[in-house]
Amino acid sequence: MFGWEFPPYFAGGVGMVCYELVKHLAAKNVGIDYVMPYMPDDLSSNLANLIDVSRLVSETELKKYNLTFSRVPSLMAAYQTLEEYEQTLRTLTEQQPETITSRRRENDSTKKMYGENLLEEIDLFAKRVAAMIEKGAFRDCDVIHAHDWTTGRAAAVAKRMLGKPMIIHCHITEINKNAGAGVTPEVYAVERENFMAADKVVAISGLIKQTLIDHYGVPEEKIELVHNGGVEMGPVKVTSHEFKGDQKIVSYMGRITGMKGPLNFIDVANLVLKHVPNTKFIIAGSGDQLQACIDKVNACGISEKVYFHGFYTRDEAELFYDLSDVFVLPSLLEPFGVTPLEAMSKDTPTVVTKQSGVSEVIDHAFKADFWDINKMASQIISLLSYPVLHETMKVNGFKEAKATTWEKPAGLCLDLYNRLRG
């Protein structure tokens, strides 16, 4: 299995998906070599054999590929577009040149998981995998399973050299990331190359499946639909806190980018406050739309009712879920979206957009089109105003979230492995 990250060494949702899938496959006695471009020295797992190709293939061994490279820290986040990534790097380099330079000299345990030029790092990963295979690695594998577009080129090399079937697990595409605002041609080209090379493409939602068909020309019969499962949350529930007081709490957690719909969330908040003024709103996360959100909150005159938390930890996420009376996923487009399942597993009723993959697998959550601000606001107002409705959604949502495990996705992947093995 090829991945770019593995918890606790991960940048976002894809890393958690990889971990959960590996964990449940391991429980089914599937032996897994989990191959990464590089990782901290102290990273290990009893679920899979973690392989860092940067340690096992030297720069000397790569000379025949006429490749020169240098390792620098990355600021690439999961689901981030290449443009966002490069802009973030430029901004931080301009603001903190000494910090960036000094970090280049840090040891492996503190290096980030993506390089300054991501496309070059993708090629480097593929070439190191090729060198390992030439030395005899992976000869006894049955199936090659690669996650996301960054690992597809390495997987395709392994397929050609080993003659084994290849799966690309598609968590998001360049089309989805940009939500119709244009694509980065280089990224799109790599993605399509990966899909064409694969024997099967796993789509995490019907939305992603349709994108593969419509925009990449992937034959429908080549696509396997495997929805994600939920992520286990802590059992401790915090029901009171000085921040909450006697207020109702409505929360949004995720990247503050256009695709996630944070500006729509503020429009919804403005409407809700007209009917339930005793409400506070949490916006947790960071991203390129953060300042625009702050400006909009100020323009609406609701700054005292909206709390911007910024980057949040796992523990803080659990606290926010516990304190929230309603959780909202307002995404314009969401390949899947695990946060509603997390919220529901913490007894928090949830409102999601119909444009999210998770809406395909949950019934006990309110749903609205991303553009229907009035409907979303009405749903939130109802949950805040009617205790019986709130309790019903809470109880049924909790049961549904607990039942939406990784057992089924892992089983579907195992079945796919067995079919490809023949």
75 and 214 fall within a common domain: yes
**Nearest-CA neighbor of 349 among 387, 309, 311, 312?**
387
Residue 18: closest CA among 56, 52, 55, 48: 48
HEC-encoded secondary structure of 231-298: CCCCCCCCCCCCCCCCCEEEEEECCCCHHHCHHHHHHHHHHHHHHCCCEEEEEECCCCCHHHHHHHHH
User: Per the domain annotation, does 349 fall within a domain?
Assistant: yes
Torsion-angle region of 337 (φ positive above 0: left; ψ -120 to 50: alpha; else: beta):
left
Same domain, 158 and 112: yes
Q: Which of 319, 413, 328 is nearest to 370 (CA)?
A: 328
**292 and 176: one domain?**
no
Burial 49-64 (b: 16+ CB within 10 A, else e): ebbbbbeebeeeebee
Q: Are residues 253 and 187 in the same domain?
A: no
* CB-CB contact of 15 with 5 (8 Å): yes
Q: Could you tell me if residue 300 is inside a domain?
A: yes
Same domain flag for 48 and 122: yes
In a domain, 237, yes or no: no
Q: Does residue 257 lie within any of the structural domains?
A: yes
What is the 8-class DSSP label of residue 382? H
Query: What was the pLDDT predicted at 88?
Result: 42
Q: How far apart are CA 95 and CA 102, in angstroms?
A: 14
If asked whether residues 414 and 392 sit together in one domain, one would say no
pLDDT at position 180: 56
* CATH, residue 297: 3.40.50.2000
Domain of 264 in residue numbering reads as 248-403
For residue 59, what pLDDT is reported?
A: 61
The pair of three-digit structure tokens given for residue 32, joined into one six-digit string: 């897994």
Q: Are residues 414 and 398 in the same domain?
A: no
Q: Total structural domains in the chain?
A: 2
Give a yes or no: residue 2 inside a domain.
no
Kindly state whether residues 298 and 364 are assigned to the same domain: yes
Structure confidence at residue 201 (pLDDT): 98
3: in domain: no
- The CA distance from 232 to 245, in Å, is 28
Q: Is residue 79 part of a domain?
A: yes
Taking only Cα atoms into account, the Rg of the chain, rounded to an integer number of angstroms, comes to 22
pLDDT tens, per residue, the chain with 422 residues? 999 888 877 666 788 889 899 999 999 999 999 998 888 777 888 888 888 887 777 666 555 544 433 332 333 334 444 454 444 444 434 444 333 233 223 333 223 555 557 888 899 899 999 989 998 999 999 999 999 899 999 999 999 999 999 999 999 998 888 665 668 888 899 999 999 999 999 999 999 999 999 999 999 999 999 999 987 777 767 777 778 888 999 999 998 988 899 999 999 999 999 999 999 999 999 888 999 999 999 999 999 999 999 988 888 999 999 999 999 999 998 999 989 999 999 999 999 999 999 999 999 999 999 999 999 999 999 999 999 999 999 999 999 999 999 999 999 999 999 999 87
Residue at 250: amino acid letter: V
| Same domain? 96 vs 163 | yes
Q: Are residues 173 and 103 in the same domain?
A: yes
| The pLDDT of residue 58 | 63
Q: Tokens for 69?
A: 């490279």
Strands 306-310 and 326-329: unpaired
Q: Looking at the structure, do residues 387 and 267 belong to the same domain, yes or no?
A: yes
At residue 126, the pLDDT reads: 92
Assigned domain for 235 exists: no
Residues whose CB falls within 8 Å of the CB of residue 343, separated by 6 or more in sequence, listed in order: 251, 321, 324, 327, 350
206 and 186 co-located in one domain = yes
Distance between CA 293 and CA 264 in Å, rounded? Answer: 9
Are 153 and 122 in contact by the 8 Å Cβ rule? The answer is yes
Cα separations in angstroms, 400 against 46, 252, 295, 347, 370: 29, 21, 37, 11, 23
Which pLDDT score is estimated for 108? 33
